[in-house]
Amino acid sequence: MRYVLVALLIVLFGYSLALVLQNGTEVTVDMLFTQVPAMRLGLLLLLTLALGLVLGLLLGVQIFRVFQKNWEIKRLRKDIEYLRKEQIQSAQLAATEAAAHNRHEKTVLDIHPEDKGSFPL
């Protein structure tokens, strides 16, 4: 992978050098705040290409962060929904067990102590 990247950088550098050498015409460039009286056209092309790449990468990183945060929010919302359902089920189970325990206590308390002696052994 490293060799492929080095080869790609060498090819890109060669292309850039050829672009500057082939486009040697000097032009005046009016940048909004200043004016360059003479700049080689190939150099201007390289500068605009580099500026476009940098701005594109920065914008791409920001957009990726937005998408990544949206994916994380969706995943967390699913986790919250799953935990809510699990909590409701455990609460229902606890309520059912409490009701059963309450009925058992009521049944045990319904037996009076005086009835204790009337059962044959």
If you average pLDDT over residues 34-52, what whole number do you get? 87
Rounded Cα gap, residues 43 and 48, in angstroms = 9
Structure tokens at 110: 């319904």
If you average pLDDT over residues 34-45, what whole number do you get? 87
Q: What pLDDT, in 10s, does the model give residues 46-92?
A: 888 889 889 988 888 888 888 899 999 999 999 999 999 999 999 99
Rounded Cα gap, residues 50 and 56, in angstroms = 10
- pLDDT(111) > 80: no
pLDDT at residue number 90: 94
The backbone torsions φ and ψ at residue 5, rounded to the nearest 5 degrees and listed phi first, read -65, -45
Rounded Cα gap, residues 41 and 23, in angstroms = 5
The residue extents of the domains of the chain are 2-108
The backbone torsions φ and ψ at residue 35, rounded to the nearest 5 degrees and listed phi first, read -130, 130
pLDDT at residue number 81: 96
pLDDT at residue number 102: 78
Continuous segment of H or E residues that includes residue 30 = strand 26-31
Rounded Cα gap, residues 57 and 55, in angstroms = 5
Predicted TM-score (pTM) of the model is 0.50
